[in-house]
A = this chain, B = another copy of it.
Amino acid sequence: MAEHYLAVDGVRAYCEEIFRRHGFDDDACRQIVDVVLTADLYGIESHGIQRMQRYHDSLRRKLVDVNARPDVVYETPLSAVMEANRAMGQTTAYMAMRLAIDKAKQHGFGAVTVRNCNHYGIAGYYAKMAVNEDLMGGSSTNTEAIAIPTFGKQPMLGTSPLALGMPADPYDFLFDCATTVVPRGKIEIYGKRGLPLKPGWAADENGKSCLDAGHVLENINKKAFGGIFPIGGESVLTGSHKGYGLGIIAEIFTGILSGGDTSPHVKNGGMGDTSFGFFALDYGLFGDKASIRARVSALLQELRDSAKAEGHDRIYTHGELEMISHDEKLKSGIPAGDRTVEELISIGKDMGLNYADYVREVS
C-alpha cells in the first residue's frame, strides 16, 4: 500500500519546476510531466513519479541533452524521420506524434519515426494523443536488448511495447503492451519479494525457463546470456513465436524505419540511442466516423457484458481500467511510497526547491 496520496496539481507544478530548473522551456516541462503523471494516473506506477530520480540523474550526468533540438531529416506528406540528437524522450515523442497527427488530419494517415533519443515513458500516452483528436494512434519504442528469440538464449530484442488506440465511448480502446511476456520491472518486484517467477517468464543462461529472479537479473546486469521470454513464453506450443514476431515488428517500426540502432546495438540502457515509431490514422478513411465510433463502442460493450468465467465478475476492455483510474486519482491523489517522496524531496533540494511549498497530500 502507498503511504502517501499526492494532490495532482501540486506534484505537477513541483515536477514541472524541477525540469524548468534543468533548463527546459515551459512547453517542454508541461509535456514531460504530463507523460509522467499520466502513467501514475493510469495506475502504471512503474513509469510515473518513481522515475523522477532517474530522469534527474540522467540530466545531471548530461546523458540527455537539454538543449538538443530534434531535426526532421526526411519528410513526405505522409511521413517523417526525426534525428533526436539525444534530446529528451518525452518532448521529442510529443513533437513526433503531433507531426503524425497533423499529417493524418491533412491526408488521412501520418507516420513518424525517431532515432537517437531517450526513454519516452508509457507508449500508450502517444497513442492516446491521437485518440484525443478522434484519430486512431499507434506508438512503439525499442529498448536495450533483454528479450530472447524463440529457441535462443541471447538477449536480442527489447521489451519494446506496441500501443494502439481507437476512440470509443465511454472508454477509448487503448492497447499498450510490452512484447515480452512480462516487463523487466515484474521480474524485479518478484525478486524483491523473494517470490519464484512463473514458468515461461524468464530464461537462464542456457535459454531454459528459470524461476529464480535474482539469477535472471544478475545475468541481465552482467550482460550474460538469458533474459525475458517473448509473449507466449518459452515454447511454440504456448505461442512463443508469436511474441517473438511482435518483438521484430516493434523493432522494424522503430529502429529499422528510423535508421536508428536496433535493440541488439542499443547501449547504456538506451540513453541517447533509443528509437520510436508513431502513426495516426483518420478512421474517417473508412466512412462515417460517428457510425464507426458507435460500432466499436458497441463491440467493446458486448465484450464487457459477455459471460464471466468462474471466479470473475468483470471483463475489461483495454484502456477501461486506465480511464477509470485516471478520473479517480484526480480526486484521491497519486499514490506514492515513502521512498518516492524522499527522492522527490531530495531532487528538489538539488534544484533549490522546497517540496512542501508545492506538494500537499490528499487526506
Number of copies: 2
Min Cβ gap A220→B in Å is: 15
Whether A283 is near chain B, meaning CB under 8 Å from some CB there, is yes
Whether A24 is near chain B, meaning CB under 8 Å from some CB there, is no
Q: Are A241 and B173 in contact (CB under 8 A)?
A: no
Q: Which residues of chain B are within 8 angstroms of A302 by Cβ–Cβ distance?
A: 156, 262, 264
Closest chain B residue, CB of each to CB of A287: B74
| Interface locus among A35-43, A243-251, A327-335 | A243-251
* Interchain CA distance A249-B314 in the complex, whole Å: 21
* Interchain CA distance A309-B262 in the complex, whole Å: 22
Q: Are B151 and A308 in contact (CB under 8 A)?
A: yes
Q: In the complex, which of the residues B107, B256, B315 contacts A292, with contact meaning CB atoms closer than 8 Å?
A: B256
Task: From known contacts A207-B310, A232-B231, A310-B206, infer whether A303 and B151 are also in contact, taking CB-CB under 8 Å.
Answer: no
Please, how many residues of chain A have a CB less than 8 angstroms from a CB on the other chain? Answer: 81
| Interface locus among A76-84, A266-274, A347-355 | A76-84
Whether A21 is near chain B, meaning CB under 8 Å from some CB there, is no
* Interchain CA distance A232-B317 in the complex, whole Å: 16
Closest chain B residue, CB of each to CB of A157: B303
* Interchain CA distance A232-B76 in the complex, whole Å: 38
Q: Are A107 and B79 in contact (CB under 8 A)?
A: no
Min Cβ gap A265→B in Å is: 9
Q: Are A308 and B109 in contact (CB under 8 A)?
A: no
Q: Which residues of chain B are within 8 angstroms of A76 by Cβ–Cβ distance?
A: 108, 285
Whether A233 is near chain B, meaning CB under 8 Å from some CB there, is yes
* Interchain CA distance A69-B249 in the complex, whole Å: 35
* Interchain CA distance A308-B208 in the complex, whole Å: 11
Q: In the complex, which of the residues B74, B286, B300 contacts A258, with contact meaning CB atoms closer than 8 Å?
A: B286
Q: Are A315 and B78 in contact (CB under 8 A)?
A: no
* 14 sampled A-B residue pairs with Cβ under 8 A: A76-B108, A78-B109, A111-B285, A149-B303, A149-B306, A151-B316, A152-B306, A153-B307, A173-B252, A175-B245, A239-B243, A251-B299, A257-B283, A259-B291
